[in-house]
Structure 1
């Protein structure tokens, strides 16, 4: 099946047809092949985008968000399941609990690297089906292993590691959606995609305690923490199969990825993103355990027959704050907003340490919500800095090579995926630092002082490299 949209402006289609020198009209011709493959996709052609492209792109975006949302849920299931294990008859040590919380983030961050290239290899629709189907494995296995208190820790750790499949979904989902939208709408689409995924953490931490306790009498129905998501995953698989599309012009750029890895600013930005997104996902995963350790009476709040955990508020606040960080960065500059975020994060962590001896849960919660809000704003602003930094690098090196601008654009596109993968390792580092602090000192104070110092160092790094005008960045405001 082939459809054609004629462009009075003579736009170019993905196959390379353009208006000739005499100004004759061009057209975007979509050819649809079996397997829901689309040839000739060109969202930059305005008439095509208005007539047909936007509706197709939004349909794919909707199902992509749903699949990624479930990916984040599965990725972060163990953050809330771990605090329920003692009531279900398990007797793991605190250190073992931290490993069950942190290993999904370690695996998920690592999976983001190959997942980035899977859309180009298999097609966006096809890989969404595959990646969603993979979520069935950790969900079903979690439902099985937590049903038996005799399950050895090693097996539990393997099942927790498999939840990392959900962490990889972010990279492939973002890579897929970027091909569907024109440049002027990519930020909006990718922002929705990212926020839709991040909020899955909050939903998991809110819904699981309710479902596993609803109707339970003497024991928890903890196996439902895994089984409850199976129907939604099956729905995502069906929706991707029925409504999503593969774009034949979606191609990975391995050369640009290799070049981006040689760019020093990629590593500097990755460090900043570990501080912002890494802190968000790390604190979100460990927040339920911190509440259970410090304020066990508030670990769950009984509402009728169901139990509710307030831990979900942290991930919710951080997810909602993220797009505002990006919007604020557009107005005043990403580096300035990132500096503000690190400042608030340092002060929030410091306030947490100083007020913890009061043993007041509501002050503890307020400090953490401020911390989560700052990480969310920092997520948005730091991610917004990436294309600006590479654009500035293009200006600074334009005199060296005539194609420097195009090369830097390709590097920037590759850097977005690479930095998102590197930043996710913070989800492993944060819990393990807390684990080390508790093991060595019996408290979390040392870890939080370490976070304060780290945020202060990242603040200084951001100011010195991206606030102070530099010739290497064409003296641009980042």
Structure 2
């Protein structure tokens, strides 16, 4: 990978040169452009995450407005965006070096208009075939796929010493899209925002009461913002002049540390994204049968909100402390909280609900620490040509989190009648990654201290 102009014909979109690790270049030109690019792409990434997770906020109300879907079908709908995110992230790994940041980020943002429009149309008709809902859920997952273009792109704009901060800010604020969609949905569906399109309301039946809602707003509200983000990407972003052939990009798979960091990031972001997608439906499944049951989205948004905030803060901290020690803290904290959750997943009354939420929020808190620390570790463990590829690859695999978590929860509910085995399994997985991180990166004399 080089930072010289690969083709004069592309000069309108590609910068002629880019040397962020040169202090003189950084102060004279690099800093302003890098930070401007970061804020534009962070705005787009936040919307991408919102589209990715909007299905988790929609499915909890489908049966209440006239759909007749089983628990398995609902969990499949929450899982499909994760499947799509993982698959499309694998494709996104190779887009920025080939087409550049400007074109890749603009087109990928415009593509999210398809599920945003589609879900708004589908929810207005309870007779919408299930396969259509599955297809739309899959398409929503393209928002998660965008991550593997946005993050490697950002890593190219900043010097190595600032990548923990830059990536922590972008990923952390981008993760707010998860919390945003779960917090915003209950508000926007209560107002006829799109009356000028002839938008019709649905009858929402909850706790024996009926009220009018406009569930289509849960996806349509993002349409104007997606258009704005795509326009900003095209007008304000230019591409770093890199040249990376496929052989260079595939070389990462011959390095054992690629696979170790993939497992560790699956523990942190895989759990974060998976539980964020499943949390609303999990609340409804476990506590929805009690009188005066809690509204899932009233509490579910707190998990990704906490995890996202922590990711931003600890991105700054990781640049000072190093990432490995914080990953150790993350693994221990997640394992402990996962075990504690098991005491509250077979409730006998609503008095157990506060502790269920608190222990779940503990998992989100410690996963946020790990999400920040791992993105500090990767640019240190790998050289610049490899680090962007590793970030893209690990992000792609971890994006399967919503699919894996939703499927495992559905399976354990069917097989065991409760979700205790899932959370015990999560604790074991965290301890496994704790050992990997300590041995290779955190112990005295570690192979790759980071």
1:423 alignment partner in structure 2: 398
Q: Deviations over 1:248-275 (max 9, x none)?
A: x133353232211011121111111111
Matching residue of 2:195: none
Summarize the Cα distance change of 1:269–1:53 in structure 2 as closer, same or farther, 3 Å threshold.
closer
Counterpart of 2:309 in structure 1 is 320
SS where residue 246 of structure 1 aligns?
coil
Aligned length: 426
Contact 1:88 1:219 in 2 (8 A): no
TM-score (norm 1): 0.83
> Would the alpha carbon gap of residues 321 and 87 (structure 1) be closer, same or farther in structure 2, given more than 3 Å must change?
same
Q: Secondary structure at the match of 2:212?
A: coil
Distance 1:257 1:198, change over 3 A: same
Is 1:341 aligned to 2:341, yes or no? Answer: no
CA contact (8 A) 1:284 1:315 kept: yes
Tell me what 1:246 maps to.
239
Q: CA deviation at 1:409?
A: 4.5
Residue among 413, 421, 431 paired with 1:438? 413
Which consecutive unaligned segments of at least 5 residues does structure 2 have? 193-200, 204-210
Q: Distance in 2 between matches of 1:330 and 1:239?
A: 29
**CA-based RMSD:** 2.5
Structure 1 residue 267 corresponds to structure 2 residue 259: yes
Q: Could you say which residue in structure 2 is the equivalent of 1:220?
A: 213
Give distance in 2, aligned partners of 1:299 and 1:40.
55
Q: State yes or no: 1:355 paired with 2:344.
A: yes
Decide which structure has the larger Cα Rg and report it. Answer: 1
The alpha carbon displacement at 1:224 in A equals 1.2
In structure 1, the partner of 2:37 is 60
- 2:368 aligned with 1:376: yes
Query: Would the aligned equivalents of 2:303 and 2:361 in 1 still touch at CA under 8 Å?
Result: yes
Higher relative contact order (CA 8 A, sep 6+): 2
SS at match of 2:15: strand
Pair 1:125 & 2:86 matched: no
Between the aligned partners of 2:366 and 2:256, the Cα distance in structure 1 is 26
> Which structure 1 segments of 5+ residues have no match?
1-11, 17-30, 302-307, 391-407
The 5-angstrom pairing of residues 77-476 of structure 1 reads 77-214=54-191, 218-247=211-240, 249-296=241-288, 297-300=292-295, 309-356=298-345, 357=347, 359=349, 360-390=352-382, 408-469=383-444, 473=447
Inter-partner Cα distance in structure 2 for 1:13 and 1:126: 18
Task: Name the TM-score, length of structure 2 as normaliser.
Answer: 0.87
- How big is each residue's C-alpha offset from its partner over 1:26-62, in whole Å with a ceiling of 9 and x where there is no partner? xxxxx99774443233334434433333222222222
**Preserved CA contact (<8 Å) 1:282 1:431:** yes
